[in-house]
Structure 1
Amino acid sequence: MIFIIIAGLIIAFLAPLLHRLLGKFIAVPMVLLPLGMFAYFCTFISPVLAGQPVLQEHSWVPALGVNFQFLLDGLGLFFALLITSFGVLVMGYAGSYLKGDEQLGRFYLYLTLFMTAMIGVVISNNILGLLVFWELTSISSYLLISYKHKYEVARASALQALLITNGGGLCLMAGLILLGIAGDSYAITELVQLRPELLAHDFYLPVVLLIMLGAFTKSAQFPFHVWLPNAMAAPTPVSAYLHSATMVKAGVYLLARFTPMLGGTEVWNYTIMAVGATTAVVGAFLALQQLDLKAILAYTTISALGSLVTLIGIGSTFALEAMMVFLLAHALYKGALFMIAGTVDHATGTRDTTKLHLLGRRMPMLAAAAVLSSLSMAGIIPFFGFIGKELLYEGAFEAPSYAMPLTIGIVFSGIAFVAVAMRLGYGIFFRKSAHEATAIGHAPEPGLWLPPLLLGIAGLVFGLLPNLTVTPILNAAGVSIAGAEAGQLELALWHGFNPILLLTILTILLGIVAYVFTNVFTTWPVHLERLYNIGPGQLYYFFKRISARGAKGLTGSVQSGYLRYYVATIIITFIFLVIGAILQENLYAVITRDTWIKAFSEIRIYEYILLILMVPATIYVSQTNSRLIAITTMSLIGYAIALAYIFFGAPDLAATQFLIETLTAVLFVLVLHKLPTLRTIKTYRANLASITLSTVFGATMAYVMVMVRQFPLDSELKAYYGEASWLEAKGRNIVNVILVDFRAFDTLGEITVLAVAALGIFSLLNLYPEKGDQL
């Protein structure tokens, strides 16, 4: 499976080149990639259905217990097949939707990168590997949402999605690290076996809350749902893929994956139920008020995600299995409806439902796809959406606790779904209107109506023949979540007359009524403007402004622009760290009279000469007003230090010091004539403070040296370098060998940083801004 990930990454970054080579035929290899992945994952269906999960491992950082581990059990296989199958349709749809776009290769790069990352999320068995792919989905979705980066709304929406989902990603990272510490393992399969220990661990509560935050932000749960409607600024293929079938389902997948190890407790069940039910109701309420096709679909997606999360919170075996069924049903009809909305916009130039009339005759195949998908969304028999809604209602109705409020909330969501489905499948295509039929710029080509039509047909086929098509893989996924007691679910269209059927009929009738009064609902935003002004969306912008101001103030106080302040900050911090270490570890160096006598008796005459040279030079350089004299005096101090290195047996350091001092002196002299006139910029008090700080710093370093002498470090590293430098690296200069051989990559990194900085400085120096411009 590692080669699937590698192949996806390679093809992703080759997409721009393929676009230049193949032009409009770029869609062919991009469709073949997810198709090949789908075929590959299909080869694992037999062992997974037989109860034999496939586990593969590849070494990454074995010393830390971090490896690429890939697990294909029922849950992972279900999501892998969902991601790749939708990938085939969306890749083909994107080729027609963005036909003629000069940046189509870049779009395919982002979309393929996202698909690969999403596959990595659902098949990762190592939680840190899962985290890596999780963050890659956030980055690639940011690139996709901001694809039309010339528009401010696209950039702002992408940033909002990135900030919210990455904020949750940081919480998830902390939670997964704590989970790994608590279980002493980073493998999901091992952590599941440690469930009793994890539930009793002190880290359980923070782990659960942090993981929930990661899942809630990714799956747009209230109050983090605000990013999803704004993300509709992305091209429609992105909405159809990320925001209906894959990315927003990642949070649902995460909660389902961790249910066997962390679920079943009150904090887990009640928190997830409360958040999910609230999201379902809020999403449905807001969906009824929208006029834009994609906004309507976005809010119903939020509502559906809330329903899925609610079922996970209920936590019963039946609820978890129902969650998987409804997830598939929602992906089928919502992916199709997003594509239909995009095709309508593509053909008419608008997504406003008040301007769309009688499109059915002019786009019959698209209308057929819309009818099939809308019927499934409304939960009409014999579509798979009907089965999903039935199980959704039954899961809420039979909840161990709070069954009545949960059922009411889910039914309200279902009513909104029926009303929305009628607007999308009937209202804009067939409903008679006093207005003329909406003008169509051009008839949609097959690539724009065939993918949603296939999804609509799939919803019908899965509804008529569920046990021959999708029930086995859904049962296998249920076993992965709920354990051995799951896996016995048999899907059927008819279960006789029961309360759930009555709820379904009531939902359809009230949904039709809600559709009739659509105009009433769409006027609510005007009346509820004050409420929306204090909602999560406005809170996001409030916190964004506060964060920007705080960051600006902090940066202004820390990044003053004066080098002397930076140096002073570093020195003061170092002094306090040394003092803290001394006080904490009781490292008090005792310097006796004999120690002083011995120290001074060991000083040789030429060392006194060096001292006589450096001390007056140091004092003089701080008093002179001539740059040339200051440069010369500083060079004198540097050369004296180099001589000290020679006296104490470090000729390599002395040679380096000589070279640096010579080069520095030459460079300073070369630029001397370009510098402004030297002027005094420090007061007497500032000079006194600098002298005091320098004295304290010097005394601190002297004290550290005394401690080092009195508390020698017993390290094997020194002996190792001494032996290995000649025997293995064939070098006599230990320092050079360490830099070039033992720490070669560190040295290369430092050289690279310096080279990049030099190029940046060179570029700035070669800018010639006009008068009044700023760099």
Structure 2
Amino acid sequence: MSWLHMMIFFPFIFAAFVPFLYKQFNPRIHTGWFVLFVPLCIFLYLSTFIHGISKGSTTLATIPWLPSLDINFTAYIDGLSLIFGLLIAGIGTLVILYSIYYMSKHHEELHSFYVYLLLFMGAMLGLVFSDNIFVLYVFWEITSVSSFLLIAYWYEREKSRYGAQKSMLITIFGGLAMLAGFIMLSMMTDTYSIREMLNNVDVIASHSLFIPAMILILIGAFTKSAQFPFSIWLPDAMEAPTPISAYLHSATMVKAGIYLVARFTPIFGGSAEWFWLVSGIGILTLLYGSFNAVKQTDLKALLAYSTISQLGLIMSLLGLGSASLYYGYGDESSMYAVAILAAIFHLVNHSTFKGCLFMVVGIIDHETGTRDIRRLGGLMHLMPISFTLTIIGSFAMAGIPPFNGFLSKEMFFTAVLNASNMNVFNMQSFGMLIPIIAWIASTFTFVYCMILVFKTFRGKNKLEKRAKNIHEAPIGMLVSPIILGSLVILIFFYPNIVSHYLLKPALLAILPMFAETELLDIKISAWHGWNAELFMTIGVIVFGTLLYITLRKWYRLYHFYPQAITLNNLYNLGLEKMESFSQSITKRYMTQFTRDYLVYIFTFIIFIIGGAIWLFDGISFEPSNDAPVNIYEGSLVVAMVISALTVLFSKSRLTSIVAVGALGFLVSFFFVLFRAPDLALTQLVVETVTTALFLLCFYHLPQLKKEMSRVRFKATNAFVSIGVGVIITIVALSANGNRLFESISDFYENSYEIAGAKNIVNAILVDFRGIDTMLEIVVLSIAGLGVYTLIKLRLSGRDKNEGAE
């Protein structure tokens, strides 16, 4: 196993030791100090790849997993996976450091918290470094399960359980859709490797499954990255502890869908469908998130909708940039490729300023006991460091200099203006809508950023009774947001260092055709002259300020929207309808009657097996391969049929028991005819014992009533029984006439040479299928112990009752 694989498995391995560390050292030492070592080591290890990746090198390591299916765990590091890996490990380190001071070691189950967190971290690392699509899918679903556990960490709260369930249902649904898309991709390319699929882009584009595979994969990406209309799970996920929100919903989990779209852009990009779906859904999500963030009164809810908005911005940039693959190499292609660079840049910027803001909101909640904006205000003098960090994060998100968000926001405006000026995919006049929607959404972004800063820290203190107890957070809790806030400013002044070592290698991983072009020489700077992008920014600030000042006058517009048709209500209504429908279906077959259960089971057997045989023309009889049927064999069959019918139509239990025993004894005669004396002897013994047991039980059974003793003919029973018999007979005869392989009996005939057993049946049971036989004996032993225990309990209960009397 390579060091690269060890890095991915390290969080999983360490998670197994967390409960022991918690038991031994808590509360003397906070468990987080031990866990902090994991992401820090991973970050330092990944940092060693930065220089080589910036020079164009890549790293590949493979370990076998299911070699018979050609599924191996191939870990691959290039510019794109490296930048995600650094974010996962770097933000993870700061979040764990923050959680040490945020999560109480006396009142929280820290072992569960950190186990879930490490599982999620390892899953995210495996996701971004996997080259095999099915290994990627496994880690993808682990992120969904571990995030479910993290969101439901405070499981005693109903809202936590509800948010966890919603995120699980939506993201798992998307994951299953993505799996179907991956299967289609593997069918088109005959490979499971993403790198090898890049060499078959022409084959994929011309295949009939191109559009279905693309849509299914995008559904997986959109659900994970909270794109419209799947974005409803993210606000409810804010019920998780703030460190979880800062990690999952700003830097990692929600970025998994972004990674998926970026990774598959070289495969699907360049098509009109990919361009319109990714950029269109992204722009719509950007507007939806920013518009809804303004009306939120909970700080974390505001940040949740702002995250939705910012994810839509990044997604739209990836969609706009995919048009560069349509043009190939050229000036037009380079203009669109700038959008990809902007997407990666804003991905990094968003992780820094949003992680900082989540941590500050957690500090506010921790110190004041509330996140309700209506109850906050006047905290600027009480919490000056938190106020400063909020300004840095909020102004960066609003796209105001001198913060890194301004640079990537300007590049976003450049990308949407390029798209409107160029008639790509018959965009024509509709292209003007893109910069217009982008500008409107940016204006609302500015408004909710101002709300976050000034409604929280300025104005009258509404917590006057607690004002004396409110103070700045301890330095340990402030270290992580201070580091992130410092990065926000440093990236603004030194963006080209980040661009050279991280952004451009990631760009080449998405668009390798630009390896030798002038695009890699682009310098990111804050001043480009008095251009359209700058005027759009000035307009955002001016109109955004006016909207913020007049917020009370137009805020009531939100109340005019009918709540009955909101996405959340539609989701809840859908769950209720599905639950009621499933209950009605369940009541139809859960009748508590064995007869009804058997009817359903056997009916499905008839339709599924019979339908498959009919559709695939599987009926094929070859009488020439059959042995001749003698008269005494036919006589035995007739006698067996008579015995079976006697069981069905007998009005006496004693007669039915005798008929069942007779049927078993007749079967033993067949074993004698087929020269299997051991089986015949076993059958005789079993039938003798079971018949004796039936007769013993017969004595304790209640007497049959007259109406029960009558046998009523039911057409359903006749249809099902005859149908099953016909289907099984056809299957048996067709199997004999469709032998695809040599009979395995030849192998077992050598049982003496292979296993040293002269009896074939004994050799099969003891040697060839020894484990099966052992497990069957274990099951019987457990059942016997259960029966013995029940008898003992019944007898002891009876003795107690007699003693009481």
Q: Structure 2 length normalisation: TM-score?
A: 0.86
- Quote how far apart the aligned CAs of 1:613 are: 6.6
1:115 maps to 2:121: yes
Find the aligned partners of 1:427 and 1:89 in 2 and give their Cα distance: 27
Q: Give the equivalent residue in structure 2 for 1:772.
A: none
Moved more, 281-290 or 45-54: 45-54
- Distance (Å, rounded) in 1 between the aligned partners of 2:182 and 2:234: 25
**Which residue number in structure 2 is paired with residue 467 of structure 1?**
496
SS in 2 for 1:194: helix
User: Which residue of the partner structure matches residue 216 of structure 1?
Assistant: 222
3-12 vs 322-331, which deviates more? Answer: 3-12
Residue aligned with 1:491, SS: coil
1:193-272 alignment to 2 at 5 Å?
Answer: 193-272=199-278
Contact 2:651-2:709 at 8 Å conserved across structures:
no
Distance change (3 Å), C-alpha of 1:322 and 1:611: closer
Say whether residues 1:686 and 2:713 are aligned partners: yes
How far 1:669 sits from its partner (Å)? 6.4
For the pair 1:82 / 2:113, whether they are aligned, the reply is no
Q: Is the 1:371–1:426 Cα contact (8 Å) retained in structure 2? A: no
Query: Cα deviations across residues 129-183 of structure 1 (Å, max 9, x unaligned)?
Result: 1111111111111111111111221111111111111111111010010011111
Match of 2:372 in 1: 352
Query: Residue 416 in 1 paired to residue 416 in 2?
Result: no
Determine if the alignment matches structure 1 residue 585 to structure 2 residue 605: no
Contact 2:651–2:711 (8 Å) recurs in 1: no
**Matched residue of 1:398: which SS?**
helix
The alignment status of 1:6 with 2:46, answered yes or no, reads: no
Q: Aligned partners of 1:333, 1:750: CA distance in 2, in Å? A: 60
Is residue 556 of structure 1 aligned with residue 587 of structure 2? yes
Contact 1:293 1:351 in 2 (8 A): yes
Q: Deviations over 1:47-88 (max 9, x none)?
A: 211111111111112222211111100000000000010111
Cα distance in structure 2, aligned partners of 1:545 and 1:256? 36
Contact persistence 1:362–1:443 (CA under 8 A)? yes
Equivalent positions of 1:750-761 (< 5 A) are none
Residue 369 of structure 1: aligned partner: 389
Measure how far apart 1:14 and its partner are: 2.9
TM-score, with normalisation over the residues of structure 1?
A: 0.89
Query: Pairwise mapping of residues 502-517 of structure 1 onto structure 2 (< 5 A)?
Result: 502-517=535-550
Counterparts of residues 641-660 of structure 1 (less than 5 Å): 641-654=667-680, 657=683, 660=686
Structure 2 counterpart of 1:641, which letter? V
Letter in 2 for 1:551: S
Equivalent positions of 1:82-161 (< 5 A) are: 82-99=87-104, 100-161=106-167
Distance 1:524 1:662, change over 3 A: farther
Please state if 1:321 is matched with 2:348. no
Residue 721 of structure 2 corresponds to residue 721 of structure 1: no
1:585 positional shift: 3.4
2:361 maps to which residue? 341
Q: Which stretch of structure 1 is more off in the superposition, 663-672 or 512-521? A: 663-672
User: By how many angstroms is 1:213 displaced?
Assistant: 0.8
CA distance in 1, matches of 2:750, 2:341: 62
- Structure 1 residues 191 and 348 mapped into 2: Cα distance closer, same or farther (>3 Å)? same
Q: Distance in 2 between matches of 1:600 and 1:724?
A: 30
Deviation at 1:4, TM superposition (A): 2.1
Measured in 1, the distance between the counterparts of 2:790 and 2:163 equals 32
CA 170–11 in structure 1, closer or farther in 2 if over 3 Å, else same? same
**Cα distance 1:437–1:123, how it changes in 2: closer, same or farther (>3 A)?**
farther
Give the counterpart of 1:70 among 51, 75, 90: 75
In 2: Cα distance, 1:636 partner to 1:575 partner: 29
Unaligned stretches of 5+ in structure 1?
Answer: 769-775
State the Cα deviation string for residues 430-456 of structure 1 (Å, max 9, x = none). 445687486346753333222112111
Q: CA deviation at 1:665?
A: 5.2
Query: How many residues matched?
Result: 758
- Once residues 587 and 232 of structure 1 are traced to their aligned partners in structure 2, the CA distance between those partners, rounded to angstroms, is 58
Shift of residue 647, structure 1, vs aligned partner: 3.5
Q: CA deviation at 1:638?
A: 2.5
Query: Compared with structure 1, are the counterparts of its residues 565 and 736 closer, same or farther at alpha carbon in structure 2 (3 Å cutoff)?
Result: farther
360-369 or 652-661: bigger deviation: 652-661
Output the CA distance in 2 between the equivalents of 1:687 and 1:612: 24
Asked if the contact 1:462/1:469 (under 8 Å) is kept, the reply is yes
CA distance in 1 between partners of 2:699 and 2:79 (Å): 75
Q: Is 2:500 the partner of 1:500?
A: no
Distance (whole Å) between structure 1 residues aligned to residue 767 and residue 355 of structure 2: 55
Q: What letter corresponds to residue 362 of structure 2 in structure 1?
A: G
Shift of 1:522: 4.8
Deviation at 1:270, TM superposition (A): 1.0
Take 1:756 and 1:173, find their aligned partners in 2: how far apart are those partners?
A: 39
Equivalent in 60, 66, 69 of residue 61 of structure 1: 66
- Cα 1:503–1:616, aligned 2, differ >3 Å: closer, same or farther? closer
Cα deviation code 1:709-758 (max 9, x no counterpart): 6x373533515632564444444554555566656677788788889999
Deviations 1:470-516 (A, max 9, x none): 54211111111122415434222222322212222222222222332
Report 1:330-729 matches (<5 A): 330-399=350-419, 400-401=422-423, 402-432=430-460, 436=464, 439=467, 440=469, 444-469=473-498, 471-485=500-514, 486-520=519-553, 522-528=555-561, 530=562, 532-575=563-606, 577-578=609-610, 581=613, 585=617, 587=619, 589=621, 599-601=629-631, 603=632, 608=635, 614=640, 617-624=643-650, 627=653, 630-631=656-657, 633-654=659-680, 657=683, 660-661=686-687, 664=690, 678-679=704-705, 684-686=711-713, 690=717, 693-695=720-722, 697-698=724-725, 701-702=728-729, 711=737, 713=739, 715-719=741-745, 721-722=747-748, 725-729=751-755
1:16 aligns with 2:19: yes
Q: Which amino acid aligns with 1:346?
A: H
Instruction: State the AA in 2 paired with 1:496.
Output: G
1:685–1:676 Cα change, 3 Å? closer
Identity of matched residues, %: 36
Are 1:367 and 1:429, in contact at CA under 8 Å, matched by a contact in 2? yes
Match of 1:173 in 2: 179
CA distance in 1, matches of 2:758, 2:779: 28
1:47 and 2:43 aligned: no
How far apart in 2 are the matches of 1:228 and 1:387? 27
CA drift of 1:668 comes to 5.5
**Worse overlay, 672-681 or 241-250:** 672-681
Contact 1:582 1:588 in 2 (8 A): no
Separation in 2, partners of 1:26, 1:378: 37
**Does the C-alpha gap of structure 1 residues 726 and 504 become closer, same or farther in structure 2, counting only changes over 3 Å?**
farther
Within 1, Cα distance between the matches of 2:709 and 2:550? Answer: 75
2:286 to 280, 285, 289: 280
Distance in 1, matches of 2:779 and 2:42, equals 40
- After TM superposition, the structure 1 stretch with the greater mean CA deviation from structure 2, 30-39 or 669-678, is 669-678
3-state DSSP of counterpart to 2:73: strand
Deviation of 1:120 (Å): 1.0
Equivalent-residue separation in structure 2 for 1:10 and 1:445 (angstroms)? 32
Counterpart secondary structure, 1:510 = helix
Say whether the 8 Å CA contact 1:355–1:438 is kept in structure 2. Answer: no
The Cα RMSD (Å) is 3.4
In structure 2, relative to structure 1, the CA distance for the partners of 1:693 and 1:514 (3 Å cut) is closer
* Change in CA separation of 1:411 and 1:678 when aligned onto 2, cut-off 3 Å: farther
